[in-house]
Amino acid sequence: MTDLQSYPQHTITAALQCAGNRRHTMRTKVKEVWGLDWNDGAVMNCHWSGPLLRDILRDASPLPVIDESTYHVAFGCHQTAVEDDDYYGGSIPYWRAINADYDVLLALEMNGHPLTPERGFPVRVIVPGVAGARAVKWLDRITVQDHESSNKYQQRDYKILPPDVQTKEQAEEVWHQIAAFQEIPINSVITSPQEGDVVKKGQSLVISGYALPQGDDGPIVKVEVSVDEGKIWKEAKIPEKGSKWSWVLWEFVYDGPIDEQIKFWSRATDTKNQQTEGRPWNLRGVGYNGYGELGNLKTMN
Ligand SMILES: Nc1nc2c(c(=O)[nH]1)N[C@H]1C(S)=C(S)[C@@H](COP(=O)(O)O)O[C@H]1N2
Ligand SMILES: [Mo]
């Protein structure tokens, strides 16, 4: 700990999202999947502080001369066995770990306080723009190696299986051919109101949500809302601008007519990508990023 504290400390604001965020939408609106039934809340956005991983790697001795493009940095937590392996681990490409532009951090603090036990005290990895699975908590080993982490959660989970893979048995045949899920896709959701909420007719309705940039393509530059299934989009307000790695919270005031059939969609734009309607399906239910949707409102006069 004191060693890590003696390095220059950096603070970044970054979202940390589980690859399975919005899995509930995929399983209910597209087709059943295999995985924890996350709604839209498997994501957080925090200030993280600690030394840059690259500063520690630079001092690790002796580092062999390596080909940056084929090496990986693997993280492990051997404190306890996990559901599917005898330790938890994951890896990221070496180029991401050593390049200052990617801000990979060994976080000691969250929002100005030491990490709590649940968040990974004393130290966890924060890989901005990358799925939460690589943000190893209770970190106790870092390895530079010529292959990805061999942990189950890198090799046989957190991958976007092709749609023709429909069973766990079929998945076993193909895991090794498919790339690990790293960069998160652009996304937005409507968080308020929620399905089933009662809203007043003849009054303006405030709709709000969050939007997340894709991988390294932040910040979010625009969020729009449609009430006619995507024919017309109107821009939402983003009261506080986002950073490259953070989510934004947005707000939209709807003044039009409201009935119980009304449906709202949201769509986000970052510096390079725009969210699409697409309803991706994959067996593990990861990476869902179809338009944010709100329907089934109850109305009262
Ligand atoms: N040691 C350890 N680190 C871990 C995990 C784990 O099971 N063990 N889960 C990962 C996954 S899949 C996610 S989405 C994030 C969740 O971070 P949180 O538990 O702080 O919300 O932690 C990651 N780091
Ligand atoms: Mo996760």
Q: What pLDDT, on the 0 to 100 scale, is given for residue 2? A: 83
pLDDT, tens digit, 9 for 90 and up, residues 71-83: 999 999 999 999 9
Q: Which SS3 state, helix, strand or coil, does residue 69 take?
A: coil
Q: What pLDDT, on the 0 to 100 scale, is given for residue 63? A: 65
Instruction: Report which bound ligand comes closest to the CA of 44.
Output: 1
Residue with the nearest Cα to atom 24 of ligand 1?
Answer: 136
Rounded Cα gap, residues 162 and 179, in angstroms: 11
pLDDT, tens digit, 9 for 90 and up, residues 102-130: 999 999 999 999 999 999 999 999 999 99
Query: Of 52-66, 119-133, 177-191, 222-236, which gets the smallest average pLDDT?
Result: 52-66
Q: What pLDDT, on the 0 to 100 scale, is given for residue 266? A: 98
Residue with the nearest Cα to atom 10 of ligand 1?
Answer: 133
Q: What pLDDT, on the 0 to 100 scale, is given for residue 84? A: 87
Q: What pLDDT, on the 0 to 100 scale, is given for residue 134? A: 98
Pairing of β 88-93 and β 72-77: antiparallel
Q: Which SS3 state, helix, strand or coil, does residue 43 take?
A: strand
Q: What pLDDT, on the 0 to 100 scale, is given for residue 18? A: 98
Is the pLDDT assigned to residue 131 strictly greater than 80?
yes
Is the pLDDT assigned to residue 248 strictly greater than 80?
yes
**Ligand 1: distance of its center to the CA of 41 in Å?**
14
**Ligand 1: distance of its center to the CA of 301 in Å?**
45
List, in sequence order, every residue forming a beta bridge with 216; answer none if it has no partner: none
Backbone φ and ψ for 134, nearest 5 degrees, come out as -90, -5
pLDDT, tens digit, 9 for 90 and up, residues 32-52: 999 999 999 999 999 999 999
Instruction: Indicate the pLDDT class of residue 64, thresholds 50, 70 and 90.
Output: low
Rg (CA), the chain: 21
Residues shown for the chain: 301
Tell me which residues have their CB closer than 6 angstroms to ligand 1. 18, 77, 82, 88, 119, 132-133, 135-138
- Burial (CB < 10 A; 0-12, 13-18, 19+), residue 245, is buried
Residue with the nearest Cα to atom 4 of ligand 1?
Answer: 136
Q: Residues 211, 274: contact at Cβ < 8 Å?
A: no
List, in sequence order, every residue forming a beta bridge with 73; answer none if it has no partner: 92, 144
Taking residues 217-242, what's their average pLDDT?
98
**Ligand 2: distance of its center to the CA of 20 in Å?**
6
Return the ligand 1 atom nearest residue 79 CA: 1
Backbone φ and ψ for 95, nearest 5 degrees, come out as -60, -35
DSSP string, 152-219: HHHHSSS----TT--SHHHHHHHGGGSPPP-BPPPEEEEEES-TT-EEETTS-EEEEEEEE--TT-PP
Q: What pLDDT, on the 0 to 100 scale, is given for residue 78? A: 97
State the chain's mean pLDDT as an integer. 96
Is the pLDDT assigned to residue 173 strictly greater than 70?
yes
Taking residues 48-70, what's their average pLDDT?
85
- The one-character DSSP state at 28 is I
Instruction: Report which bound ligand comes closest to the CA of 139.
Output: 1
The sign of the CA dihedral 238, 241, 244, 246 is negative
Query: What is this structure's pTM?
Result: 0.96
